[in-house]
Amino acid sequence: MPAPTRRTLLALGALTGLQLLCGCTDDHPAAPKPTAADPDRPLRLRQLAATDALLADYDAVLAAAPADADRLGNLREDVARHREALAGPLPSPSAAGSAASGSASAAGSASPAAGPAARTAAELAAAEQRTAALRLADLAAASPELARTLASIAASDAAHAAALGDTTAPAPAPSPSASASASAGALPAADTAALQAALAAEHAAVYGYGVVGAFLPTGPQREDARSGYSAHQARRDVWQRLLAAGGASPTAAAPGYRLPFAVKDPATAAQLAAHLETQLTAAYADLAATTALREQAAAALREAALRAAHWGADLPALPGLAAAS
């Protein structure tokens, strides 16, 4: 099955540099052009401070439990990658500075994610969950690109918490059918296009999970596949209703889908499930950049990332953004 089509809002083009002739001399160098202020700067500083605190927690737990260096070290590398992505256009000293300087810049605004210093893996998992909540709290105020990044990092934080043993179910997201239907008629064209892409990805997931379930024996794995199948059917139906309410014709399912590899046993069935969920993270990262459906897209991205990890996928530091990183 080919990967579901991923709609992107960025157009590729050639950038042509123009040299302007002027009568400037060495005594009067051209003044540098002012750069536009980054509207996301306060959010970036707030998120960097929270990320620095999380890195400090990892360092403390690693120092106390060196035997866990391999497992925790990989997760910490992801958090360091999150920091790079969040720094974005900030000046180099702020982006690459020490944890202390980053925290000092936004200490007051980062307080919602603060907690007692982590000493164990369980406390580290709780710190990951608190940080994930802070990412989501800033979604509405962020630019589309930063919102996309925050949704991806929040999904990674949730997957880290699960890997550290946190089995707490995440707080349910507001129902898209209840929160977005009222504004469905006013969805911008870009939002509609991203929602159509997510719907297409859900059609492919529903088909794929039918194959997955057919190759799994009765037992926990098959129940997991049945649960995934039902969840994707439900989300597919919600997106169809939203699009129809907004006057758009929902993308139809294809008559069939070509699988990315042959599925012939439980092992390859689990690989297919991991592949399907990983593909969905890309569609929902794009949807998280929309103006009307960010919260719902972030919840769907988190669920896809958690399912992908459950099925054995090796998640990147930025789920859904790997191809663009």
- Looking at residue 112, what is its pLDDT? 55
- Looking at residue 87, what is its pLDDT? 94
Distance CA 16, CA 32 (A): 19
The helix or strand, by DSSP H or E, that contains position 282, with its residue range, turns out to be helix 266-287
Tell me the average pLDDT across 152-171.
89
3-state secondary structure of 313: coil
Distance CA 209, CA 304 (A): 13
Tell me the average pLDDT across 253-280.
97
Contact by Cβ (8 Å): 78, 309:
no
Distance CA 178, CA 186 (A): 15
pLDDT averaged over the chain? 83
**What Cα–Cα distance (Å) separates residue 117 from each residue in 42, 113, 148?**
24, 12, 29
Asked if residue 212 has pLDDT above 90, the reply is yes
Position 98: which residue type? S
**What Cα–Cα distance (Å) separates residue 315 from each residue in 152, 208, 306?**
11, 19, 9
- Looking at residue 90, what is its pLDDT? 79
Position 307: which residue type? R
C-beta atoms surrounding 13 within 10 Å: 6
Give the predicted TM-score (pTM) of the model: 0.80
- Looking at residue 325, what is its pLDDT? 43
Asked if residue 4 has pLDDT above 80, the reply is no
Q: What is the largest CA-CA distance in the chain?
A: 81
Distance CA 319, CA 149 (A): 9
Contact by Cβ (8 Å): 219, 294:
no
3-state secondary structure of 6: coil
Contact by Cβ (8 Å): 82, 23:
no
Distance CA 143, CA 125 (A): 28
- In sequence order, which residues have a C-beta less than 8 Å from that of residue 134 and are 6 or more positions away? 46, 47, 50, 110, 112, 113
Lowest mean pLDDT, pick from 3-12, 87-96, 146-155, 230-239: 3-12
Query: Which pLDDT band holds residue 98 (cuts at 50, 70, 90)?
Result: very low
- Looking at residue 323, what is its pLDDT? 55
Distance CA 155, CA 169 (A): 13
**What Cα–Cα distance (Å) separates residue 25 from each residue in 20, 22, 29, 30?**
14, 9, 7, 9
Side-chain-side CA neighbours of residue 52 (13 Å):
23
Tell me the average pLDDT across 257-284.
97
Instruction: Say if residue 226 is exposed, middle or buried (CB neighbours under 10 Å; 0-12, 13-18, 19+).
Output: middle
Tell me the average pLDDT across 11-36.
42
Lowest mean pLDDT, pick from 81-90, 138-147, 224-233: 81-90
Distance CA 200, CA 8 (A): 14
Asked if residue 215 has pLDDT above 70, the reply is yes
